[in-house]
Amino acid sequence: MSTAQQSVQPDPTAGTAGPLEQEPAGKPRRRWRRIVLVSLLVVALLGAGGVVAGGLYLRSVESGIERVDAFADVPAEARPPVAAKGAMNILVLGSDTRNPESTSGSRTDTIILAHLPKDRSSAQLISIPRDTWVAVPKSKDGNHGGRDAKVNAAYAWGGVPLMVQTVEKFTGVRIDHVAMVDFAGFKEIIDALGGVEISAEKSFTSIHPPFRSFRQGPQQMDGETALDYARQRKQFADGDFARIRHQQQVIKAILDKASSGGILTNPGKLNSFLQATSSSVSVDKDLSLLDMATELRGLRSGNLVFLTSPTKGTGRVGTESVVFADTGRSRSFYDAVRRDAVKDIVSGAGGK
């Protein structure tokens, strides 16, 4: 078994500045919703004037977004303190509902803690590997949890509220909002943008039909190809960490293309983009698309930093293959998140 790369390391493929190494990424089943974070960030790129002028339109789009009670049954006394004044933490949960390898039922494939600093000039997207071994609180029905398990088991056992509890317990960071994402929905978004450019770290062949070949270096990908690329992990020594890294590349490529490919200045394209996503977006009851777009109007893809929760590598607990958190580094890292000082860690690591 390979050893996972230590996190809080910059991903050279992510294209974001900074010395820190980023990413070396019983109930009827509810269909996961699409790309709300990407939609919010793209809308934010409109800038203040565009947001104000399009306010009524954005409100009409927002009215079609599905809402979930993400914080129901989350005990108030067990929650961490409110984040540093003005900062915001959004828990992004995702699954790839059409992943040929997916046999995990309602478990989440992707867990991202998106930290938005008080000044909203940047955003740090912190991936928590789905196999991270953590303490999962007991579920509301009392039948599950109350023991250590993989972090993504929390959703299967208690839905979004138990997932919120588990991530808050693990990180000590209070979650302000929740968004749910279906990474399979990236196909439609990328095709609407006319494809994206992604740079592969090495040449490899997909393990899924039609077994596409990816060459090392930059290449243009349509939606189906980019989604296939984002699923690959078994051909890489760091396994699921590579899949996280590929997902982050796709997210950044979408934002880059959306901000430079004319969608923001073409009302027809922008309308198609928003309508395609808003009809299938699911967020908590208090998250406002218009407010978020206004707050993030100065954000650009170059201000996004992709990180991974600090780990010690992979191992086994009984019959399960797991990722072990680096508790010491995690403690100091998430303390910086709570204090709204992640930017200081990113800019200070590596020694200027």
- pLDDT tens across 193-246, in order? 788 999 999 999 999 899 999 999 999 999 899 989 988 888 988 887 888 889
pLDDT of amino acid 40: 53
**Can you list the positions of beta strands (E) in the chain?**
66-68, 88-95, 110-116, 123-127, 133-136, 147-150, 177-182, 196-200, 204-205, 213-214, 217-221, 282-284, 304-308, 311-317, 320-325
CA-to-CA separations, 109 to 122, 138, 225, 293, 344, in angstroms, rounded: 25, 21, 19, 27, 29
63, two tokens: 């009215």
Q: Is residue 19 part of a domain?
A: no
**Count of domains observed in the chain:** 1
Q: Is residue 102 part of a domain?
A: yes
Q: Is residue 201 part of a domain?
A: no
pTM over the 0.85 mark:
no
Q: Is the pLDDT of residue 135 over 70?
A: yes
pLDDT of amino acid 297: 65
**Between residues 283 and 197, which one has the greater pLDDT?**
197
Q: Is residue 260 part of a domain?
A: no
Q: Is residue 45 part of a domain?
A: yes
- pLDDT tens across 46-75, in order? 433 344 445 555 666 666 677 888 898 899
318, two tokens: 């009984």
CATH code of 286's domain: 3.30.420.590
Q: Is residue 178 part of a domain?
A: yes
Q: For residue 341, how many other CB atoms are within 10 A of its CB?
A: 15
Mean pLDDT of the residues in the chain: 75
Q: Is the pLDDT of residue 114 over 50?
A: yes
323, two tokens: 């990722």
Q: For residue 300, how many other CB atoms are within 10 A of its CB?
A: 15
pLDDT of amino acid 286: 86
Say if CB 121 and CB 302 are below 8 A apart: no
pLDDT of amino acid 168: 97
Q: Is residue 229 part of a domain?
A: no
Determine which of 103-107, 122-126, 225-229, 274-278 has the lowest per-residue pLDDT on average. Answer: 103-107
Provide the β-strand partners of residue 127: 112, 308
Q: Is the pLDDT of residue 41 over 60?
A: no
323 lies in which domain range?
A: 36-184+265-334
Task: Give 258-261's long-range contacts (Cβ < 8 A, gap of 24+).
Answer: 258/38, 258/42, 258/45, 258/193, 259/42, 259/45, 259/300, 259/301, 261/193, 261/194
Q: Is residue 235 part of a domain?
A: no
Q: Is the pLDDT of residue 189 over 70?
A: yes
Banded pLDDT at 22 (limits 50, 70, 90):
very low
CA-to-CA separations, 288 to 49, 55, 157, in angstroms, rounded: 18, 12, 28
pLDDT of amino acid 50: 44
Q: Is the pLDDT of residue 299 over 70?
A: no
* CB-count exposure of residue 211 (10 Å: 0-12, 13-18, 19+): exposed
- In this structure, the chain runs to a length of 352
For residue 132, the 8-state DSSP code is: B
Q: Is the pLDDT of residue 273 over 90?
A: no
Q: How far apart are CA 212 and CA 220, in angstroms?
A: 13
First-to-last alpha carbon distance for the chain, in angstroms, is 36
